[in-house]
Amino acid sequence: MMGRLALSAVRAHPSAYLAAAGVIGVGTALLTSFAALAETGLAAPANQGESMTMLAAIMGGWSVAIVVFGIASTVTLVVRQRGRELALLRTIGTTPRQVRRMVLLETGIVALPALAVGVLPGIGLGAFLLTRMVDAGVVTEPVDFVTTWRTVVSGAAIALLAAVAAAVIAGGRAAKIAPTLALAESSGGTAQSVVSAPKLGFGLLFLLIGLGSGIGTLFMADGPLLAAAAGPACVGVAIGLALLCPVLVGWLGRISAVLPNAVARLAIRNLAARAAASSTVVGPLAMLVGIATGTLYMQYTENGSPKIAGDDIGAQFAVANYLVVGMIIAFCGIAVTNSLIAATWERRREFAGLRLTASTRDQVLGMITAESALAAALAILLGTVAAATTVIPYALVKTGSPVPHGSALSYLAIIGGTAAIACVTTFSTAVRATRPRPALVLATA
């Protein structure tokens, strides 16, 4: 009975659950690739496997945190979007335990096939990374690519645990809240800007880790380990700010009254009223900006600074570093795109209601575009702050100046790409969501 109900729920929300499946599958592939690289490094002779194992450990550690956050955010968004349905189930006698179980079953139905789909591409991606590392000179001689059951289990298990943990937490919240309040929240009647105690704790913890890493970099000598100390700073701060994002988004509602444009006022109020849901988009966007800017400009500074004795390994790692960072950025981009499509498509009833209360379709599209632009601007601001915690300390140690090497065009490309992802994805989805007649949407959505 419960399994059939969970399967029906997945079928009823294909866009949301496909978004979650996509993020889980891509995250599994990314984690599996680093697990395969680490497995190969451990099996190789010590003189060949050391550099590979080091890179897999450093970049893999960042990737675990990023993938876990991306999967958890997407699953949480899906469960939150079903708040109205879960509240209705509570009103007809469904117990909190049954709600939690159903949410967990739904997540399993989506996650298990996605894990299976992500494993094989992950192994192929690991082999591709190994080839590039040999070409870049990180590994001086060809080594045999090695994968075992540990490669598959480690990548898939982390992704599955992230999805299950998010489902348990989000399902627990949905089960505990009073049905009438849940119905009010799901219809936009209550601002969801409160950060739960666990989320607040993890957000502050990641902020402390990131800031500690950045500050600690200032007291290190210039050498091969400097990048390993500075790199995690932007990741930690980006994740911390993403977790605390609902509070920051909620504050935006206070400035809406001073804006002269009605569409802009409505966009800010909507973003603030939907702070918890909006943060699942702003957070990954901020991570994309922070990680891309921080790691790229750290590498630019490494390339442009005078080399010291024993620091030749930095040049060898440059190509591999660019490749790995590109993979992480691609994952963040996929996660953001999927979340934006799911979040926008699920607002069809809201758009229909606005159109039935005298708003034109153009006004609704203008509002959603303003919302996405505002979310992108906030994400760019947060991501830039996160990047600074890596770039400034690293540049100070390397060159004595807080200004990193590298052209400003790279930063403009990063923020331009981020804004384009947010605005184009949201607008195109909103166009499809507002195409049917409003009355038909309200009757069927």
Rounded Cα–Cα distance for residues 91 and 85 (Å): 10
Q: What interhelical angle do 197-217 and 226-243 show, nearest 10?
A: 150
Contact 363, 101 (CB under 8 A): no
pLDDT recorded at residue 330: 84
Assigned token pair, 55: 């890179």
Residues in CB range of 278: below 8 A, 6 or more apart: 245, 246, 249, 271, 371, 375
Q: How many other C-beta atoms lie within 10 A of the C-beta of residue 142?
A: 10
pLDDT recorded at residue 48: 64
Give just the sign of the alpha carbon dihedral 303, 304, 305, 310.
positive
pLDDT per residue as tens, the chain (445 positions): 666 777 777 777 777 788 888 889 999 998 998 888 888 888 777 666 666 777 777 677 777 888 888 888 888 877 877 777 777 777 777 787 888 888 888 888 899 999 999 999 999 988 888 887 777 776 766 778 888 888 889 889 989 998 888 888 877 877 776 666 555 555 444 444 456 777 788 889 999 999 999 999 999 887 767 877 888 888 889 888 888 887 777 676 677 666 666 666 767 777 776 666 666 678 888 888 998 899 889 888 887 776 655 555 555 566 667 777 788 788 888 888 888 888 888 888 888 888 888 788 888 888 888 888 888 988 899 999 999 999 999 999 988 899 999 889 999 999 999 999 989 999 999 999 898 888 887 776 5
Rounded Cα–Cα distance for residues 25 and 14 (Å): 16
Q: Whose structure tokens read 């049905």?
A: 179
310 DSSP assignment: T
Q: pLDDT tens digit string along 106-122?
A: 888 899 999 999 999 99
Residues in CB range of 291: below 8 A, 6 or more apart: 62, 66, 234, 235, 238, 325, 328, 329, 332, 386, 387
Around 389, how many Cα atoms within 13 Å sit in the side-chain half-sphere? Answer: 30
Assigned token pair, 25: 């599958």
What percent of the chain is helix, strand and coil (3-state, nearest 5)?
85, 0, 15
pLDDT recorded at residue 190: 43
Contact 316, 138 (CB under 8 A): yes
Rounded Cα–Cα distance for residues 229 and 298 (Å): 11
pLDDT recorded at residue 188: 46
Rounded Cα–Cα distance for residues 402 and 400 (Å): 7
Rounded Cα–Cα distance for residues 42 and 146 (Å): 9
pLDDT recorded at residue 378: 87
Is residue 244 classed as helix, strand or coil in its secondary structure?
A: coil
Contact 200, 286 (CB under 8 A): no
Q: What is the distance in angstroms between the CA of the first residue and the CA of the last residue of the chain? A: 24
Q: pLDDT tens digit string along 42-57?
A: 877 766 666 677 777 7
pLDDT recorded at residue 392: 94
pLDDT recorded at residue 61: 73
For the chain, what percent of residues have pLDDT higher than 70? 82
Rounded Cα–Cα distance for residues 9 and 167 (Å): 14
pLDDT recorded at residue 189: 42
Assigned token pair, 8: 């029906």
Residues in CB range of 286: below 8 A, 6 or more apart: 238, 241, 242, 245, 378, 379, 380, 382, 383, 386
Rounded Cα–Cα distance for residues 107 and 354 (Å): 32
195 Ramachandran zone, left/alpha/beta (phi>0; psi -120 to 50)? beta
- Cα 75 to Cα 15, 70, 78, 333, 401: the distances in Å are 12, 9, 5, 16, 42
Q: pLDDT tens digit string along 146-187?
A: 888 888 898 899 899 988 888 888 778 777 766 665 555 554
pLDDT recorded at residue 207: 92
